[in-house]
């Protein structure tokens, strides 16, 4: 067994993340680059460092889980969401809307969703579950504090209404924070929540193997209510969505067929 295979097994034992479910060449490049940047020359040495240095391990987990996020990422897709998707979800619903931001990173996506939904709903009629594999990202998301650069794509009306100044940064107001519940979920291992009207899973599936993708799409199907919508990332269009019992309603948006 080569060094990287041994390393992957040890990592799974250490932090319960199975690297076999990520695309091998892509993950090997990423981890090798990070390892060398930290001055390690072998996977054995790097693992020994990760085991004893919490800061190094946190950096590794954060890098591994690809915490890249921003408010209203790919604005044209949010416009489709607002114009074509949300009005239909609202039709005939006499209960709160259930939404799952399934790789929420540091919180920009679920907070964007909450703000956008205020154009259609009272905040009391919204439940947003925001999950990620990385607890340090979740803790940051819970605080809801962002610098000026982070909020560049946030519409002015939302900045004025739902942010407050906080030590030269911007803090999400409690009225938005209270509709978002954060929780750790590993998409590759953990059970999925049920009865979702909208699932957002963007810019994470591309890192997984074909087998892992298939498993996740099937679990998303089970997780959605009838007429529920799956919203995927700009590089993650589902080819032949029918094989997962989905049908395309708009580019990057799928419903149960």
CATH of 75-256, picked from 3.30.360.10, 3.40.50.150, 3.40.50.12500, 3.40.50.970, is 3.40.50.150
75 Cβ contact list (under 8 Å, min separation 6): 153
Q: How many alpha carbons lie under 13 Å from residue 128 in its C-beta half-sphere?
A: 28
Would residue 245 be called left, alpha or beta, if left means φ above 0 and alpha means ψ between -120 and 50 degrees?
left
Say if residue 153 is exposed, middle or buried (CB neighbours under 10 Å; 0-12, 13-18, 19+).
middle
Q: Is the pLDDT of residue 66 over 70?
A: no
User: Given this model, what pLDDT does residue 169 score?
Assistant: 94
User: Given this model, what pLDDT does residue 113 score?
Assistant: 96
Cα distance between residue 191 and residue 13, in whole Å: 20
User: Given this model, what pLDDT does residue 131 score?
Assistant: 97
Top-confidence residue, 67 or 241: 241
Cα distance between residue 204 and residue 213, in whole Å: 10
Cβ-based neighbour number of residue 87 at 10 Å = 10
Q: Is the pLDDT of residue 10 over 80?
A: yes
User: Given this model, what pLDDT does residue 234 score?
Assistant: 82
Cα distance between residue 106 and residue 84, in whole Å: 27
* Structure confidence by residue, pLDDT tens digits, 150-209: 999 999 999 999 999 998 899 999 999 999 999 999 999 999 999 999 999 998 888 889
What's the whole-number average pLDDT of the chain? Answer: 91
* Structure confidence by residue, pLDDT tens digits, 85-103: 998 887 778 889 999 999 9
The closest alpha carbon to 70, from 139, 136, 149, 178, belongs to 149
User: Given this model, what pLDDT does residue 37 score?
Assistant: 93
148 Cβ contact list (under 8 Å, min separation 6): 169, 170
User: Given this model, what pLDDT does residue 107 score?
Assistant: 95
* Structure confidence by residue, pLDDT tens digits, 220-254: 999 999 989 999 988 888 989 999 999 999 999 99
User: Given this model, what pLDDT does residue 70 score?
Assistant: 84
Q: Is the pLDDT of residue 67 over 70?
A: no
Band the pLDDT of 71: cuts 50, 70, 90. Answer: very high
User: Given this model, what pLDDT does residue 81 score?
Assistant: 95
Any idea what the Cα angle at residue 225 is, between residues 222 and 231, rounded to 5°?
80
Q: Is the pLDDT of residue 117 over 90?
A: yes
Q: Is the pLDDT of residue 1 over 60?
A: no
* Percent above pLDDT 90 for the chain: 67
User: Given this model, what pLDDT does residue 98 score?
Assistant: 96
Q: Is the pLDDT of residue 27 over 60?
A: yes
User: Given this model, what pLDDT does residue 68 score?
Assistant: 65
Phi–psi pair at 141, nearest 5 degrees: -60, -40
Q: Spell out the domain ranges in the chain.
A: 3-64, 75-256
């Amino acid at each position: 067994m080569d060094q990287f295979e041994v390393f992957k097994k040890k990592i799974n034992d250490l932090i319960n993340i199975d690297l076999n479910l990520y695309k091998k060449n892509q993950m090997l490049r990423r981890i090798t680059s990070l390892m060398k940047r930290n001055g390690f020359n072998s996977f054995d040495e790097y693992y020994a460092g990760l085991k004893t240095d919490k800061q190094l391990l946190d950096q590794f987990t954060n890098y591994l889980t690809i915490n890249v996020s921003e408010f209203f990422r790919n604005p044209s897709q949010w416009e489709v969401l607002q114009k074509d998707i949300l009005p239909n979800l609202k039709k005939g619903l006499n209960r709160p809307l259930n939404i799952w931001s399934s790789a929420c990173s540091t919180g920009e996506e679920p907070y964007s969703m909450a703000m956008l939904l205020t154009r259609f709903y009272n905040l009391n009629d919204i439940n947003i579950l925001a999950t990620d594999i990385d607890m340090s990202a979740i803790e940051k998301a819970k605080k809801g504090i962002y610098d000026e650069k982070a909020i560049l794509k946030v519409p002015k009306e939302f900045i004025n209404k739902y942010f407050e100044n906080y030590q030269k940064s911007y803090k999400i107001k409690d009225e938005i924070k209270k509709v978002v519940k954060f929780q750790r979920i590993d998409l590759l291992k953990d059970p999925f929540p049920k009865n979702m009207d909208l699932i957002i899973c963007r810019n994470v599936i591309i890192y997984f193997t074909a087998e892992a993708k298939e498993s996740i799409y099937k679990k998303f199907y089970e997780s959605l209510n009838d007429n529920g919508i799956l919203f995927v990332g700009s590089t993650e269009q589902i080819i032949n969505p029918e094989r997962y019992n989905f049908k395309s309603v708009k580019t990057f948006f799928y419903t149960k067929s």
